[in-house]
Structure 1
């Protein structure tokens, strides 16, 4: 059994504040305590800015950008309340998972100024304002719209690069999420035009001393490995980039699942398990 501390650098989505999650935020936090976590980042999604940027399930439920923004404000208030309530039992970071849709370069800084999160998780869920991770059908539609899988990968990593340089999020969320519905991702990531973008983005992560999230969400859905895939994880190790487990939990049933496996993966590759803690970068 590993002696490494249990932590999650990207987790804590709850049904209280996320449409595709379950359970209350306090239930989520007390579960982390029960499982012996040393610290956890609660990293709720920022709201969609416009109707067009909402997920299909959000639209179907009649949610609006105005409601999502109001709910996000309640999330930050509740997370900070629980942060204080459980301070003696668990170090909680009240963080947020950002997006890269049109206008994020001003919208995200406005949220930071208003809510003062402890740190940012920099994620990409949209390619040119088109979602790709909701379903295989959506994934293929977005690929077709931008010129195929290879071009979608290239756009994804270009958008990620811009976001990393612009906002320098303390944590890079599921670095290679773009592979989510691609059965041939291992070979595709090695194509020169894609691999050069991967390596460029890793250089930015190293330059700014950002943390990469070893994201366990894919394992819950039956994938053979987490985000980050093995070939990229080895590059990160060789570059001395910090990688920390993130359960990306969306309910009580996700917490702690596959955490020992994640720690073993990192230990076997020679990563430190003296986990660095994220901090908010002041980019102004």
Structure 2
């Protein structure tokens, strides 16, 4: 089993548990690869979420401590020849354009093995926090709903072009708070933008994560949703698996549902990252992509489905 996307309460303000508890649980479940991908810091007071008591300096310090701790655990697992490989990464943000330059500096100071390329905001406003904030993000676009969704994917493409993240995170999370029945493919401009993003990511070799967190959010599928999976398949996309866990209790959660979903959409091969040369290029260690037959991958006792 693999997960390319995880968080811990020790280093994420909306997660639970300690980092080592998360790693121990993944090892207990028989994961062969578990990736640590905490959020990067935020840099503006207005970007703190409701209920967050941390300061901006706290968030920066949290990431600094995460990087040191994660690297130490990774080295220990490697030295002890443990069967589970750890990769140390980060999850990107696009709140405002200056944040991209800040991330560029961050990865030079704190090199990671890879990045999960994610977007959680449109023009500075969160789109996956709650319904009220999602509607606030939509307001400036008035009746031009197509422009709102397109802007999200424009931000996503800019993250891809700037950093070429090895994994594309929850590609269509913009739909999480959207009105039921929203069909992105019905908006021609949005569909073209999605196709452009997909083709760009395929072109440089990215993996698209199949993210099981959508199940615990109430979806009957993973991210990406069915219609978008078909767009990706038509473009020759490769897929990897993520639980996007936010604590030990969510590790491997709903992977049985994921197995059924992967079969339903006709994905016959999953891919994953492995450490490669160890050479540092552009603030990242080089990783390689390995393919695994879907049936062999899911030869495990799946965890719960709630």
Q: TM-score normalized by structure 1?
A: 0.91
Residue 95 (structure 1) aligns with: 89
Q: What per-residue deviation string (whole Å, max 9, x for no partner) do you get for residues 193-220 of structure 1? A: 2111111111111111101111111211
Report the Cα offset of residue 276 of structure 1.
3.0
Q: What per-residue deviation string (whole Å, max 9, x for no partner) do you get for residues 152-182 of structure 1? A: 2111011111111111111110000111111
Q: For 1:174-253, list aligned pairs within 5 A.
A: 174-253=170-249
Aligned residues: CA RMSD: 1.9
Higher strand share: 2
Which runs of 5 or more residues in structure 1 are unaligned?
1-5
Report the Cα offset of residue 82 of structure 1.
1.3
Residue 116 (structure 1) aligns with: 111
Seen in structure 2, the aligned counterparts of structure 1 residues 253 and 266 have a Cα distance that, compared at 3 Å, is same
Inter-partner Cα distance in structure 1 for 2:17 and 2:222:
24
Q: Which protein has greater RCO, CA pairs closer than 8 Å, 6+ apart?
A: 1
Residue 33 (structure 1) aligns with: 27
Residue 38 (structure 2) aligns with: 44
Residue 141 (structure 2) aligns with: 146
Inter-partner Cα distance in structure 2 for 1:185 and 1:231:
12
What's the secondary structure of 1:37's corresponding residue? Answer: coil
Q: TM-score normalized by structure 2?
A: 0.85
Report the Cα offset of residue 185 of structure 1.
4.9
Seen in structure 2, the aligned counterparts of structure 1 residues 175 and 192 have a Cα distance that, compared at 3 Å, is same
Which runs of 5 or more residues in structure 2 are unaligned?
284-306
Inter-partner Cα distance in structure 2 for 1:234 and 1:16:
37
- Structure 1: which 4+ aligned runs deviate by more than 6 Å? 278-281
Residue 259 (structure 2) aligns with: 263
Q: What per-residue deviation string (whole Å, max 9, x for no partner) do you get for residues 94-119 of structure 1? A: 10001112212211111111111110
Inter-partner Cα distance in structure 1 for 2:181 and 2:197:
18
Inter-partner Cα distance in structure 2 for 1:213 and 1:282:
23
Size of the aligned set, in residue pairs, is: 275
What's the secondary structure of 1:56's corresponding residue? Answer: coil
Report the Cα offset of residue 46 of structure 1.
0.5
8 Å CA contact 1:100–1:163 kept in 2: the answer is: yes
